[in-house]
Amino acid sequence: MKITVSQKDRKILVTFKSGKAVDNYAIDKADSFINALDKFLKKRKLNIAVLKKADLKFANVGMLTERIIRAIIAGL
């Protein structure tokens, strides 16, 4: 699983890739990342255990946003 996070203006763009499945989400705050992640896991019927092997990539993201998202992933 790959998770790519980028930021454009005040929107955070999150791309989840699992095999051939690709979903894109635009969120307002890094705190909303957990909601987007939950939607992706439910839609693709994936277990939360796939996050342990997830590859995180950040592009043009502020330090606070990156830390919040890393903390969410670590907490799961």
Provide the residue type at 70 as one letter.
R
Q: CB neighbours of 51 closer than 8 A, spacing ≥ 6?
A: 1, 37, 73, 76
- What's the number of domains the chain is made of? 1
Averaged pLDDT for residues 24-38? 91
Six-digit token string for 74 = 């670590």
Kindly indicate the confidence band of residue 38, based on its pLDDT and cuts at 50, 70 and 90: very high
pLDDT for 52: 85
Rounded Cα distance between 25 and 38, Å, is 12
Place of tokens 């203006």: 9
Kindly indicate the confidence band of residue 30, based on its pLDDT and cuts at 50, 70 and 90: confident
Adjacent-strand bridge partners of 18: 21
pLDDT for 27: 94
| 43-76: pLDDT as tens digits | 999 998 888 888 999 999 999 999 999 998 888 8
The CATH number for 45's domain is 3.30.420
Domain of residue 65, residue span: 2-75
